[in-house]
A and B are shown apart, each in its own frame.
Chain A
Amino acid sequence: MNRKSFLAMSTAILFSVGVAQAQDPVRIGIVVELSGAGAPAGTNWRDGIKIAVDEINADGGILGRLVETAEYDTQTDPQTSRALVQKAIDEGAYAIWGTIYSGSTLVNMLVAQQNEIPQFVGSESPAIVDKGNPFVFRTSSGAQKGVPALTPYFKDTLGAKKVGIAWVNNEFGKGGHDVFAAEMAKVGIEVVADVSSEQAQTDYAADVARLKDSGAEAVFVYMNQEESARFLIEARKQGLAMPLVGEVTLTEAKVIELAGGAAEGAIAHVGLTATATQIEGIAEFAAKFEQSFNRRPTHDAIKGYVGAWATKYVTEMVGEFNGAAFAEKMKNLCLSVAEHPRMLLDTCWDATGEMSRPSFMVQVKDGSPVVIGTVPAN
């Protein structure tokens, strides 16, 4: 073999090895609630990610590498979620997408932090960004940002002087409850009924009866999906007449599906809603989702979608698959929808991983959440 042929062959071999390496997929773990009480949220999160991954891979992947996901069902159990985050990392995950339940995230995010793995979560408990973990990033605003958006609604729109709170006794519910109670105290609205319930509780007769008799002029409802639906069903059964106002979950598609007519009239402040179809990206995502899965997406689906695309955008800004560099880049980062259209809305993160984004007030009318107002980013 002469020199030229040898050089040509070597170049061809090196090129093909390089191409093969560039084809190695990047593995990302979807660690989320696919069974248990969190299944409605988790399955939507996962399905939103599926849409995103298909689009990302059609766009060439991340830095030329296709995205390969692996699903890990936490069964809505915090200890299981912790073990699964470790397992995903052991199996080579570059990033973790999930969990949603705040109780699980608080436990498992330490594992991701120790391994310097970026983690996009769907959790909204204020505690998550208070722990100083530089590797955890929200896909929606926490309760400490979202719930205060309701204060003007209770004070000015409803003119309420007395309110009740119906909340689920877990990390998610406690966080929202505490923020709401503080907000009401700030504006001089009295909380006349403070009714906690348990995760996966099935009987809300006593809870609704207490609210009915409390003299409240409106009720702040802060529960997960199934619990919200059961509460709404019981509220209708007992003729609870006052406005029911929630944050995020109360007007979700799954809650409306489960509660049926009992969800009519419920109001919520939401960070994201598939019915904000005046926003082009949201309309497009909602249509794709409905075509793929034969149902409307919930806000958890949009959260998963946004988290997946944020991973691509930021990794490409960093230029390499480096968790520490990713975390550094995310600090005080803003992704405008003009330059990053798949973020759907202009989105910013602060140094703690807390997200800011415009949001919406919605009300259930004729079985669908209808946008009745927008709230600027705070």
Chain B
Amino acid sequence: MSQFLQVFLSGLATGSIYALVAIGFTLLWQAAQTVNFAQGEFVVVPAFFVLVGLHVLHLPLWAAVALALVLSLLVLGYLFKKLVVGPILPAGGISLIIATMALGILLKESIKEFYGAEAQPFPALVPQDPLNLFGAVVSMQDIMNLLISLGIVVLLTQFLNRTRTGRCMQATAQNPAVAEILGVDVKRMVLYAFLVNAALAALASFLITPVYLAKFSNGETLGVIAFIAAIVGGFNQIRGALAGGLLIGVLDNLTATYVTAEYRAALPLVLLIAIILLRPQGLLGTSEGRTV
């Protein structure tokens, strides 16, 4: 029982971080019809901003994290929108997809070139001591990661549903032309979506890197799994991305513990194929029609 509890909790914690990244995918898709294949690298870069703050600028941890968040918003939000998405989107979705793939490679190789190829230790932002829960020794870090991620998702949902700006962002996502007619500053709302994505990626980075270590190549697997989570849950629904992330995190851990560790990497792919065949809009997504 204690093993199941630990495995389930770890799965939820890891899945909640996948969910943060997957929500970024869905936000960008809804706001700007953008599929960002550099999303995995977007989760790696903020960790290195923190390390630069700590080891190059010799800032205390809280200041390095704050600096990393600001830089993430600027580079992965504003500059990404302004320099990559803005100019290329009119050329079509395929061009933008290729551009984001190239951006991912650029970010990865830049980290490797300017910081190093070796993994780096990363300070934990939450307590790491084990905790006794219902007689089982479980990880405090997993519980904190899960609570923080879920808390952020709840806040984001509240922001999108209960604030004027959030409702304007939703209106922009649903129908930009009509939203503009109704007086919504569409360009600003799209920018906000990119900034929220950058913030989510940064938060995911701060939570996952103490365990995964900071390494230039971490984004490859993370990006693929988060993308699959977004599709499995429903690419046009934030709650779908949340569900997809949690589901993949839990199933991955349960599979590795009780079924097979050798083939655990195949699980997300099998799930993806099954969802595309059986319910292409995702578990919680809605069907979309599109004229061509």
A40 CA to B119 CA, complexed, in Å: 8
Contact between chains at A229 and B128 (CB < 8 Å): no
Nearest CB on B from A128, distance (A): 24
The answer to the question of B41 belonging to the interface, with a C-beta cut-off of 8 Å to chain A, is no
A237 CA to B142 CA, complexed, in Å: 8
Stretch at the interface among A90-98, A157-165, A176-184, A190-198: A190-198
Contact between chains at A237 and B7 (CB < 8 Å): no
Instruction: Name the contact of A212 in the complex, choosing from B6, B140, B212, B213 (C-beta under 8 A).
Output: B6
Nearest CB on B from A156, distance (A): 29
The answer to the question of A258 belonging to the interface, with a C-beta cut-off of 8 Å to chain B, is yes
A209 CA to B252 CA, complexed, in Å: 13
Contact between chains at B217 and A257 (CB < 8 Å): no
A196 CA to B6 CA, complexed, in Å: 19
Q: By CB atoms of chain B within 10 A, which of A203, A233, A257 has the most?
A: A203
Q: Evaluate whether A205 and B119 lie within 8 angstroms (CB atoms) in the complex, with A196-B262, A230-B212, A238-B139 already known.
A: no
Contact between chains at B3 and A210 (CB < 8 Å): yes
A198 CA to B261 CA, complexed, in Å: 9
Number of A-B pairs whose CB atoms are under 8 Å? 104
Q: Is the interface of A mostly helix, strand, loop or mixed?
A: helix
- Nearest A-chain residue to B256, judged by Cβ: A206
Q: Which residues of A contact B121 (CB under 8 A)?
A: 229, 257-260
Q: By CB atoms of chain A within 10 A, which of B6, B112, B119, B256 has the most?
A: B119
Q: Which residues of B contact A230 (CB under 8 A)?
A: 211-213
The answer to the question of B141 belonging to the interface, with a C-beta cut-off of 8 Å to chain A, is yes
A-contacting residues, B109-148, CB 8 Å:
112, 116-121, 128, 130, 137-142
A195 CA to B3 CA, complexed, in Å: 15
A126 CA to B121 CA, complexed, in Å: 31
Nearest CB on A from B203, distance (A): 18
Contact between chains at B118 and A43 (CB < 8 Å): yes
Q: Which residues of B contact A217 (CB under 8 A)?
A: none
The answer to the question of B236 belonging to the interface, with a C-beta cut-off of 8 Å to chain A, is no
- Nearest A-chain residue to B253, judged by Cβ: A206
Q: Which residues of A contact B139 (CB under 8 A)?
A: 205, 237-239
Contact between chains at B130 and A205 (CB < 8 Å): no
Give A residues with C-beta under 8 Å from B. 34-36, 39-40, 43, 169, 195-198, 200, 202-203, 205-207, 209-210, 212-213, 226, 229-230, 233-234, 236-239, 254, 257-260, 262
